[in-house]
């Protein structure tokens, strides 16, 4: 088969990306049936987190492909087809390794009965990684060496890892202080989350979504377009804690950087990291009170 020209390859890439994006929308509307008629949901997924879907298309990244497989896995998880959930999360980890941590979504179903599923899934993942290493060793090392520590962070990658690193360096701190603060951050976020997961036995959507938010808060690599993952979680938690008047205001807060003119640059650059932290707090609030099922969000929204 003749090699494709750059123009032809670009056309195929864009066409397949839009097809996967349509597939992602269909999965969301299938999972959240009553939201398919909600104009606010549609507007928010297009504009939320600085129009992260547009950013993915603009930068030519593969995040939409990743999100399609992640949410296809979550669709099967909700259908209790756990083998397919694990399969699609593992497939996603072939693009970038970190999404394998989303296997922790199993804990939204409880702890004791799901540890084996997580362990078996991780074993399958490690076996596949070993197989890839043996088949294509040189390419595998290149894949691993795509180190997030080599990237600059800021608005293009507003992660806790980059924020703490940049702040500590600007204050003259060393690697030990950075590692200590990062460890304390990880422990605070994960322990508080799993403590609250154990207290709520009814709302699986809230538990599933807060695990996704924790993932975004602790991973060292979370590009601006990767926030596509958080769009349904943000919509859910916002609509659960607010009345219809505050909802519109919060949608704007979660879509646009409103502090860039008023705070030091290093904080403005990490606006969506702070917003994700606020989303995590919203999730804890929802977990600790009686709430609506996701399929029963107020029709007035």
- Model pLDDT for residues 38-73, shown as the tens digit of each residue: 788 888 999 999 999 999 998 888 899 999 999 999
Model confidence at 229: pLDDT above 80: yes
Q: Does residue 32 fall inside a structural domain?
A: no
Question: What is the C-alpha separation between 218 and 191, in angstroms, rounded?
Answer: 12
Question: What is the C-alpha separation between 64 and 18, in angstroms, rounded?
Answer: 9
Q: Does residue 177 fall inside a structural domain?
A: yes
Q: What is the pLDDT of residues 27-36, one digit of tens each?
A: 998 888 766 4
Q: Does residue 86 fall inside a structural domain?
A: no
Q: What is the pLDDT of residues 88-107, one digit of tens each?
A: 999 999 888 899 999 999 99
Q: Does residue 31 fall inside a structural domain?
A: no
Q: What is the rounded average pLDDT for all residues in the chain?
A: 85
Q: Does residue 51 fall inside a structural domain?
A: yes
Counted residue by residue, the chain has a size of: 301
Q: Does residue 12 fall inside a structural domain?
A: no
Pick 155 or 45 by higher pLDDT: 45
Q: What is the maximal distance between C-alpha atoms in the chain?
A: 61
Tokens read off for 196: 């609250």
Q: Does residue 83 fall inside a structural domain?
A: no
- Quote the domain boundaries for residue 266: 40-55+148-301
Query: What is the 8-class DSSP label of residue 295?
Result: G
Q: Does residue 198 fall inside a structural domain?
A: yes
Confidence of residue 126 (pLDDT cuts 50, 70, 90): very high
If one counts the domains in the chain, the total is 1
pTM as predicted: 0.89
Model confidence at 292: pLDDT above 60: no
33 class by beta-carbon count within 10 Å (0-12 exposed, 13-18 middle, 19+ buried): exposed
């Amino acid at each position: 088969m003749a090699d494709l020209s750059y123009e032809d390859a670009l056309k195929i890439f864009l066409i397949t990306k839009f097809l996967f994006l349509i597939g992602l929308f269909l999965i969301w509307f299938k999972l959240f049936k009553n939201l398919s008629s909600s104009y606010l949901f549609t507007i928010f997924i297009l504009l939320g987190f600085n129009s992260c879907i547009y950013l993915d298309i603009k930068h030519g990244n593969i995040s939409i492909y990743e999100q399609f497989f992640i949410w296809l896995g979550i669709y099967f998880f909700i259908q209790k087809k756990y083998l397919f959930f694990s399969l699609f999360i593992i497939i996603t980890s072939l693009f970038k390794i970190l999404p394998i941590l989303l296997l922790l979504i199993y804990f939204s179903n409880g702890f004791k009965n799901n540890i084996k599923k997580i362990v078996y899934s991780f074993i399958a993942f490690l076996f596949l990684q070993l197989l890839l290493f043996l088949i294509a060793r040189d390419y595998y090392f290149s894949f691993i060496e795509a180190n997030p520590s080599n990237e600059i962070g800021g608005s293009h990658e507003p992660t806790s890892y980059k924020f703490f690193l940049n702040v500590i360096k600007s204050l003259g701190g060393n690697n030990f202080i950075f590692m200590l603060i990062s460890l304390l951050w990880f422990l605070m976020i994960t322990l508080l989350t799993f403590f609250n997961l154990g207290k709520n036995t009814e709302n699986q959507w809230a538990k599933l979504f807060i695990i996704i938010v924790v993932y975004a808060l602790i991973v060292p690599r979370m590009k601006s377009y990767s926030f596509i993952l958080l769009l349904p979680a943000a919509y859910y938690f916002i609509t659960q804690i607010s009345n219809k008047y505050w909802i519109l205001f919060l949608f704007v807060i979660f879509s646009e950087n409103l502090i860039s003119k008023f705070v030091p640059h290093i904080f403005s650059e990490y606006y969506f990291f702070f917003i994700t932290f606020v989303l995590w707090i919203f999730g804890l609030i929802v977990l600790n009170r009686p709430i609506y099922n996701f399929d029963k969000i107020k029709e007035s929204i």
